[in-house]
Structure 1
């Protein structure tokens, strides 16, 4: 009963601060401060400073700003235009036609970005005008882009997986390995949905693409060479054990700068804009992580995580029942918080439950990322929905309805992961990439 009262107090203070417009990171610190003042006799200021410094100076976290910077650089290049030109000849003959460029383009860019928002804006700024010009159904254009852009959270280098790894003290490299097959399978499920809808929808009547010979397709494929070389540099160096996640991120930044320079997109203005954009995003995530670390410590003093873990253990839930409860919990939480905030806010409580239930934490990281991908396209705080609204000027209701089938596919993906856990665990168990 005492634990319940403390939890209610924490939630009241948290939502009071968030509702008043306080930044998420500062709101977490505020809740932690209240908890420390009420339930401990330790000097709160000293504890807060030590915790924030320890979290902020984590070497593992170094990969985060580097991957963000790489995505910012690539966003300012002609990469989206080149990807469309390279992918279109191969996607056009498939059932569903060029809508597949949304999905494959997001999958490819996710492998060099790590950010859902960067993936969405980079691919969407090129594909939306082209698909509209060819008379593809608008809901399908918008929906597939909203859903496929979330692959930036799954396919390495994933910012969400880095944050999860730092929060749970798991290997970043192994989490990256674990995200490869689930990301590809989810992309395949999106493509299967497009193919089916192209056959059954009465509104599917796009303009026909001019036929291309094999030689012309291969010639257009040369536009994909730079991005695939960058993927090979970043992901390949980790998988082959030549680089840690942080070193691979540094390689990625260098590769992105070279790519931008070779395209003539690199100027002092774009360089400083990308650097400042990465700094702002990194500072925001670092503040959230610091606040979450302080909150975790504060909650540890109250004994709430341990008490809840024991309570859940007493219920004797099966692993499946626990995962279903967490699925619903994260879907509801995702309606009000972005994915990274949801991860850092809940892991102090959720991690002990998961360990107690005997669930592999690498696998659970992929489970959580799939669920927070849903948060990107669920109102009222679905970030991808807001980005798409700014790009397309559609009403939020239209964009939400267009993205809803993608949400259902992600729910299906959760059950696929539960039924076949080896999808996420086989690669990290068989390819050890060294320290993260």
Structure 2
């Protein structure tokens, strides 16, 4: 019976999401109203304590702040300029702007911490440009979907925050451990694009840009690099101090 109730609630939640109801409202409606109808008031009364106990954690405070940081990058136009700069520098590679999708996702992941936000944000920027230049739809969407998954691994990652909090593991060490695998995965994605879609299209405008213009566009990559350096630098210092105290 309980399994049937859970399945029905899950289907109702998906239906609400497909009807363009916000995800948070859909989950709250199914969890609150559905829980009350299925199990009565005792379950609803315990929800407050469970939610407070989960969110009353200093680590969890970083999650909305990372989301806010990604939103600021999008609304401030930094993400658009970042994509334009990477398109000029990577447009000559086999696969053209498909590499820009992956590289932009990697940089945006290093600031927002969310795979969903990364894929959605870079998709709104990249898809119109790729469609305008005649890139095929399948590799365009595929590189965005693959690049979006880098938000799980490249720090700061919301998933690593949640895992570190639940497993009582150092979040700083998890972040440091995710840097090299995240960069390696980014390079492997780009290598696959070069081998699988070498003629998907090349950004011919990138070939016309002068070296001085390319160097000028590099300034648009400075803000995400500075943010990533500050986050990882402070985490590295914190982890080093903890290790020194543990040795003493």
- Normalised by the length of structure 1, the TM-score is 0.47
Structure 1, residues 54-73: CA drift from partner, whole Å, max 9, x if none?
A: 22212221111111111222
Measured after TM superposition, the shift of residue 81 of structure 1 is: 2.0
Cross-structure match for 1:350: none
Contact 1:103 1:144 in 2 (8 A): yes
Work out the CA distance in 2 between the residues paired with 1:433 and 1:129.
Answer: 47
Match of 1:14 among 6, 14, 31: 6
Cross-structure match for 1:65: 64
Measured after TM superposition, the shift of residue 157 of structure 1 is: 1.4
- What is the root-mean-square deviation of aligned Cα atoms in Å? 3.1
Cα separation, partners in 2 of 1:159 and 1:213, compared to 1, 3 Å: same
Contact 1:18 1:24 in 2 (8 A): no
Cα separation, partners in 2 of 1:227 and 1:52, compared to 1, 3 Å: closer
Work out the CA distance in 2 between the residues paired with 1:223 and 1:67.
Answer: 20
Measured after TM superposition, the shift of residue 208 of structure 1 is: 2.6
Work out the CA distance in 2 between the residues paired with 1:33 and 1:434.
Answer: 48
Work out the CA distance in 2 between the residues paired with 1:158 and 1:139.
Answer: 27
Work out the CA distance in 2 between the residues paired with 1:25 and 1:132.
Answer: 37
Cα separation, partners in 2 of 1:32 and 1:231, compared to 1, 3 Å: farther
**DSSP-derived class of the 1:65 partner:** helix
Work out the CA distance in 2 between the residues paired with 1:122 and 1:208.
Answer: 25
Cross-structure match for 2:217: 220
Work out the CA distance in 1 between the residues paired with 2:45 and 2:132.
Answer: 60
- Normalised by the length of structure 2, the TM-score is 0.78
Match of 1:208 among 198, 204, 210: 204
Cross-structure match for 1:233: 230
**DSSP-derived class of the 2:204 partner:** coil
Cα separation, partners in 2 of 1:87 and 1:192, compared to 1, 3 Å: same
Cα separation, partners in 2 of 1:96 and 1:59, compared to 1, 3 Å: same
Cross-structure match for 1:171: 170
Cα separation, partners in 2 of 1:97 and 1:221, compared to 1, 3 Å: same
Cross-structure match for 1:125: 124
Cα separation, partners in 2 of 1:91 and 1:182, compared to 1, 3 Å: same
Measured after TM superposition, the shift of residue 194 of structure 1 is: 0.8
Measured after TM superposition, the shift of residue 434 of structure 1 is: 4.4
Measured after TM superposition, the shift of residue 113 of structure 1 is: 0.5
Unmatched tracts of structure 1, length 5 or more: 1-8, 38-42, 242-430
Does 1 or 2 have the higher relative contact order (CA < 8 Å, sep 6+)? 1
Work out the CA distance in 2 between the residues paired with 1:33 and 1:59.
Answer: 34
Structure 1, residues 73-107: CA drift from partner, whole Å, max 9, x if none?
A: 22211112211232122202222122100000000
Structure 1, residues 324-383: CA drift from partner, whole Å, max 9, x if none?
A: xxxxxxxxxxxxxxxxxxxxxxxxxxxxxxxxxxxxxxxxxxxxxxxxxxxxxxxxxxxx
1:180 aligned to 2:179? yes
Measured after TM superposition, the shift of residue 236 of structure 1 is: 2.3
Q: How does 1:48-127 map to 2 (within 5 A)?
A: 48-127=47-126
Cα separation, partners in 2 of 1:54 and 1:26, compared to 1, 3 Å: farther
Contact 2:67 2:113 in 1 (8 A): yes
Unmatched tracts of structure 2, length 5 or more: 17-25, 244-248
Contact 1:14 1:27 in 2 (8 A): no
Measured after TM superposition, the shift of residue 153 of structure 1 is: 2.1
Contact 1:107 1:187 in 2 (8 A): yes
Q: Could you list the structure 1 runs, at least 4 aligned residues long, displaced by more than 4 angstroms after superposition.
A: 25-35, 43-49, 431-435
Structure 1, residues 12-67: CA drift from partner, whole Å, max 9, x if none?
A: 332232233484467567779989x9xxxxx8677554433322212221111111
Work out the CA distance in 1 between the residues paired with 2:203 and 2:112.
Answer: 32
**DSSP-derived class of the 2:187 partner:** helix
Equivalent pairs counted in the alignment come to 230
Work out the CA distance in 2 between the residues paired with 1:119 and 1:234.
Answer: 18
